[in-house]
Amino acid sequence: MSRIGRLPIEVPKGVTCTFSESNKKVTVKGPKGELHQELKAKFNVKVENNSIEVSRPSDDKPDRALHGLYRALIANMVIGVSQGYKEQLELIGVGYKASAQGNVLELSLGYSHSVFVAIPSELKLQAQQEKGSNPMIILEGIDKQLLGQVAAKIKSLRKVEPYKGKGIRYVGEYVRRKAGKAAAK
């Protein structure tokens, strides 16, 4: 049995979870919003008291693989609608800037032009530029998958290079640095 899949999911106060048998859809509602997840046929979700349990139809390898996945996705939905998720990105480099107008992020990343990124309406966007510190981009939302995907897309616009450490990185991310060329004698 899956170690993660068999664990029950605790549901905090203010969060409701429903499972539709007909279309195999889990709906989680909370103070921050509502999320949906469709399950593969024959997977079952039992909602009792303040816990959710996911059960699989058989011990076949594909079902065992999806058991823990579905449990983790539903647990992420519960946390998302109750607490929400937050991702912070840091721009490190001379002249790197970030500004937000609505849900459009404008980045100056050392290219000859500014880069514009449209952020989905489900996420909140903030850009901070304080004197003496690196510019920061703060993304908040209830959908962990969407938040991670958008943060990774922004990060891929200027990957961190290993020699000087310039680029876009998560706050607290460790970047392995390389030594440059040795000076000639």
Tell me what the mean pLDDT of segment 98-123 comes to: 94
Instruction: Give which of 145, 89, 156, 155 is closest to 120, Cα–Cα.
Output: 145
pLDDT of residue 49: 85
Please tell us whether the domain made up of 85-170 is placed in CATH 3.30.590.10. no
* Alpha helices per DSSP H over the chain: 61-82, 144-155
pLDDT band with cut points at 50, 70 and 90 for residue 64: confident
Give the CATH number of domain 9-82. Answer: 3.90.930.12
Tell me what the mean pLDDT of segment 165-171 comes to: 94
| Residue 151 neighbours by CB distance under 10 Å | 19
CATH 3.90.930.12 domain extents, the chain? 9-82, 85-170
pLDDT band with cut points at 50, 70 and 90 for residue 144: very high
Mean pLDDT of all residues belonging to the chain: 91
Which is more confident, 181 or 116? 116
| Cα 170 from Cα 151, distance rounded (Å) | 9
In the chain, the percentage of residues whose pLDDT exceeds 70 is 97
| Cα 169 from Cα 91, distance rounded (Å) | 7
